[in-house]
Structure 1
Amino acid sequence: MSVYDEKPWLARYDQGQPAEITPEYPNMLELFRATVARNGSGDAIRYFDRKISFAELDELTDAFAAGLIAEGFQRGDRVALFMQNVPQFVIAQLGTWKAGGIAVSINPMNKERELTELLKDSEATVLVALQSLHRDVASKVVPGSTVRTVITTSELDFQTRNEPAVFSGVERIDCPGTIDMLELLEKHKGSKPPAVDLKPEDVAFLTYTSGTTGPPKGAMTTHRNVVFNAQSYRDWIGIGPDDVVLGVAPLFHITGLVGHIAISLLAGAPLVLMYRLDPALTIETIAAEKATFTVGSITVFIALMNAKNAEKDKLASLTKIYSGGAPIPPSTVEAFRSTFGHYIHNIYGLTETTSPSHAVPLSAEAPVDPASGALSVGVPIYNTVVRIVDEDGKELPPGEVGELVTEGPQVVAGYWNKPAETEKALPGGRLHTGDVGYMDENGWFYIVDRKKDQINAGGYKIWPREVEDVLYEHPAVREAAVVGVPDEYRGETVKAFVSLKEGASVTPEEIIAFTKERMAAYKYPRLVEIIDEVPKNASGKILRRELRARG
């Protein structure tokens, strides 16, 4: 009996029927197993000189799941993934699902403060980390946390090429008190974990976001969410087993989780990983692997244009290019087309929409708003309803500016252990995005502003208060206010305005260095201006608009 006899609705996914007519949503494991049955010998992951087939990936993830269970892992437990773009991330994520668990994606740029907060909130019992991240960060955080098992791994594993562009200075590190991932996989090789029945509404992973308010919250992304938008990527863009997915977005980010990993597992297309982005190496990899599809921040494509080997022929195969996470200047799209001959399609969504809620059709080009010069973020994808509403929640007609409110199968179930925050951002299952924009008469959507003060630097979301909290730790700082200011490369960058305590003396460079040591690289302020007083209104609220005007 084939997998299709047991679950006939799986055939609809494999046959590429549009998402809007698919009535059922399986979990990602079932779709992965269907891909293994259909294309087991095909490449699942390509990592420099190593290729891992779908059948081998199935065996590796079985071993990982068996290893977790042997260490006392229970259904519903959380596994924190603290890695860059390496095969072990995919192995750990799939293996976690096979053990009945929830994967927790953690930014590898996070420092002790941030990792402590996320482990505490998720109550993860297992941490899988790169050896260097364990040595530098996790080893100082795990004691006293809920983590019982630490699995470490090296970015040098699963390849032998040791490309100098990304591995210069990298070496294997001894991590006492942890389990080596390769040893775990070898120990449990050939083992199969007990069958687990994952429901569509079960949480697949927690992805932390500042959302529309406050500190990071764990968005509960269900298997239904992931499967739906994986299929949306496939059907909207036309991705199949003959495509090659180029992994330029961070795998911990919702774009990497869905637009790289999930679409590869669903479509049976190889996923090319490169540990971290090096523009020149990426161009050579595109040419060598004949990559056809990618999605990433516009900063990636700007970097490719400025690489020393930016030659049109080397990107000839990359015909399906999408960019989201940060505003795209029309001039950059045209410059990229002039350099490589390809158009960059806009795509828009949030962590809470499991990647896309809007996208530009592959056969179309986004219109430009004649008033602001903004490029449209596209039209709503399958089964997605987006309304523009005013402050009272009243739906506005085309052309009028208001907040985007989104509903559809990709909208997450809520925030982990935060019912009040869930109700505030997702009343009735409708996501109040916090983004302000409008829809034109033809149904194209444009983002024109942010409702909140959140900063978007190259696709990374930054909450000003978090930066301000670190600034206040400096002994010379009296008051601090952080805003986003325009930046040619990142779209926005972080600028801090600080006033000093009486008699204190410090330079902007010293403050930048202070925050850089305590925050992820994308968060610390690139600009610091020392002022006499931080402007506030009569009630003491900081006047951020006035600070933004000062630049």
Structure 2
Amino acid sequence: MSFNLATMLRESALAGPGKDFLRFPAGALTYAEVDEASGRVATALRARGYRPGDKVALQLPNVPEFVSAYFGILKAGLVLVPLNPLLKAGEIAYHLADSDARLLITGAFSAEEARTALAEVPGVAAVLVGEVDATGWPDGTGAFAELLAAEGDDEIHPGAADDTAVLLYTSGTTGRPKGAELSHFSLYMTCTIGGQTFGTEPDDVVLAVLPFFHVYGLSSILNGAARHGRTVSVVPRFEPKAVLAAIERDRVTIMAGVPTMYHALAAADSSGYDTSSLRIGSSGGAAIPEQVLRSFEEKFGIPVLEGYGLSESSSTATVNPGADRRKLLSIGKPIWGVQLRIVDEQDRQLPPGAEHVGEIVLRGHNITKGYYKRPEETVKAFRGGWFHTGDLGYVDEDGFAFVVDRKKDLVIRGGYNVYPREVEELLYTHPAVAEAAVLGEPDDRLGEEVVAVVSLKPGAFAEPDEIVAWAKERIAAYKYPRRVRIIDELPKGPTGKIAKLLLREG
């Protein structure tokens, strides 16, 4: 069976060519305009010699070029590798090399780090968005405007439905980030069924303040809108006043965000803004505190439905089934075609009840094909035919699922996953640090804050603020520890492993 995810854009453009697809503070783009622009990108990429299956890394914030590049990559049968614009050079180089990317599309915001990264990964070409100094870039580096100027056949590559569309990098609690292969079919089914379950309406306008390089923003918001022909109100960066202004300007009906956004909006001064168009909210990325949920709902007068998903589940795995049937603090029920179980350490299914907490495992049309070039990790994650999420939870007697904790040590800061080992490995390279442990500590605004506990080498000296500043220069902004505690020696367990539980208790 042949199928390409970009068909969603084409069909919506045929059904409503003049309808706004994307609304930005500076203007709007219709479905026909985005379809045409992405077709030009696809034509240009083919002309440059890229062939189906080649990887293209895209490192941009929520700007029009992200969307035209994304659908252009899909139309050409290429594989998207979305990268956070906040990544540092070493992180970018790792992703490019591990994914076998042949091209990086990046912009002014990330230019300095990207240019340094490309020097470490020979053979990767670059395309630059906006006004970027071309000095020091690889030979053949071009401008994104050149892609948009291409003319030719606007064919959508008729690949197989199970071909990889997006290689989305994620991490477990050990090892380096790994690429989850999401197919055209899994992404299509997820946004189709997820949108139907959530209950989208023809005239809905969905807020897009979540980044498109993240699975929530890419799959649930951007793909979901393209699939159902909805309009997206794009806010390039989260700021409460910018969000409130977009809601009023674009008559936003669906608010989609992570708990920290709801917390900030609940606390913000919304007087003077007309938010009466809002009818429903969607929360994901982390568990939303009850107080935050109630404060936002009371202030804005709309229900917020919590869901659950991972990069490996193409975003959506469960959704609360409507405001009149939801359960507060529950992640809802599995979407159509997806199964969820709670299992013990021996992978035996546990019965319903809050007293039966175990690991959440999933299977269905939305699950990743596996981890790119990591067969052993893929087999481990899919043991018994179920994808093991690493999250702990339970299911009640009515089939509603609840997440109670992370099985490992994952820190979720403001909706972003921060993997302690990655930060610890960086801290171990500090000349004064002997040992390091990274933890998540509760934070009212962000959900969790990244905190490091370190011991110093004999005779070495460092101040906590100096270590924070050092890490800030070498790792993405959402990852570096905001607080560092220095102690004489990190506590150990019987096997010599650092006892993080004791650090948390201390």
Secondary structure at the aligned position of 1:363 is classed as coil
Q: 1:147, CA displacement in angstroms? A: 4.6
Residues 471, 515 of structure 1: 8 Å contact kept: yes
- Residue-by-residue CA offset, 1:462-506 (whole Å, 9 max, x unaligned): 111111111112111111111111111111111111111122221
Secondary structure at the aligned position of 1:142 is classed as helix
- Residue-by-residue CA offset, 1:46-66 (whole Å, 9 max, x unaligned): 122321111111111111111
Q: Which amino acid aligns with 2:22?
A: I
Residues of 2 paired with 1:286 and 1:175: CA distance? 38
1:150 counterpart = 2:126: yes
Aligned partner of 1:129 in structure 2 is: 106
Aligned partner of 2:414 in structure 1 is: 458
Aligned partner of 2:35 in structure 1 is: 58
Residues 376, 447 of structure 1: 8 Å contact kept: yes
1:482 counterpart = 2:438: yes
1:185 counterpart = 2:148: yes
Secondary structure at the aligned position of 1:315 is classed as coil
Q: 1:153, CA displacement in angstroms? A: 0.9
The equivalences for 1:284-363 within 5 A come to: 284-308=245-269, 310-311=270-271, 314-363=274-323
Aligned partner of 1:168 in structure 2 is: none
Q: Which amino acid aligns with 1:76?
A: G
Change in Cα spacing, 1:146 to 1:318, as seen in structure 2 (3 Å) is farther
The equivalences for 1:107-118 within 5 A come to: 107-118=84-95
Secondary structure at the aligned position of 2:317 is classed as strand
Q: Which moved more, 1:75-84 or 1:193-202?
A: 193-202
Aligned residues with identical type, % of pairs: 40
Q: 1:194, CA displacement in angstroms? A: 4.8
- Residue-by-residue CA offset, 1:408-438 (whole Å, 9 max, x unaligned): 1101111111111111112354210100111
Residues of 1 paired with 2:13 and 2:21: CA distance? 9
Secondary structure at the aligned position of 1:143 is classed as helix
Residues of 2 paired with 1:202 and 1:486: CA distance? 40
Residues of 2 paired with 1:403 and 1:530: CA distance? 34
Residues 388, 403 of structure 1: 8 Å contact kept: yes
Say what the alpha-carbon RMSD is for the aligned residues. Answer: 1.7
Moved beyond 6 Å, runs of 4+: none
Change in Cα spacing, 1:318 to 1:80, as seen in structure 2 (3 Å) is same
Aligned partner of 1:251 in structure 2 is: 212
Residues 87, 273 of structure 1: 8 Å contact kept: no
Q: Which of 357, 382, 405 is matched with 1:401 structurally? A: 357
Aligned partner of 2:133 in structure 1 is: 174
Q: Which amino acid aligns with 1:442?
A: D
Q: Which of 467, 471, 476 is matched with 1:511 structurally? A: 467
Q: Which amino acid aligns with 1:367?
A: K
Secondary structure at the aligned position of 2:126 is classed as strand
1:381 counterpart = 2:342: no
1:44 counterpart = 2:21: yes
Change in Cα spacing, 1:315 to 1:293, as seen in structure 2 (3 Å) is same
- Residue-by-residue CA offset, 1:211-240 (whole Å, 9 max, x unaligned): 364321101010111111111232112224
Change in Cα spacing, 1:471 to 1:147, as seen in structure 2 (3 Å) is same
Aligned partner of 1:94 in structure 2 is: 71
TM-score (norm 2): 0.95
Residues of 1 paired with 2:59 and 2:202: CA distance? 29
- Residue-by-residue CA offset, 1:32-89 (whole Å, 9 max, x unaligned): 2211111111111112232111111111111111111222211110110101111111
Residues of 2 paired with 1:97 and 1:347: CA distance? 27
Change in Cα spacing, 1:25 to 1:173, as seen in structure 2 (3 Å) is closer
1:491 counterpart = 2:452: no
Residues 82, 130 of structure 1: 8 Å contact kept: yes
For structure 1, the residue ranges without an aligned partner over 5 or more in a row are 1-23, 155-171, 369-374
Aligned partner of 1:139 in structure 2 is: 115
Residues of 2 paired with 1:433 and 1:312: CA distance? 43
Q: Which amino acid aligns with 1:506?
A: A
Q: Which of 260, 268, 271 is matched with 2:232 structurally? A: 271
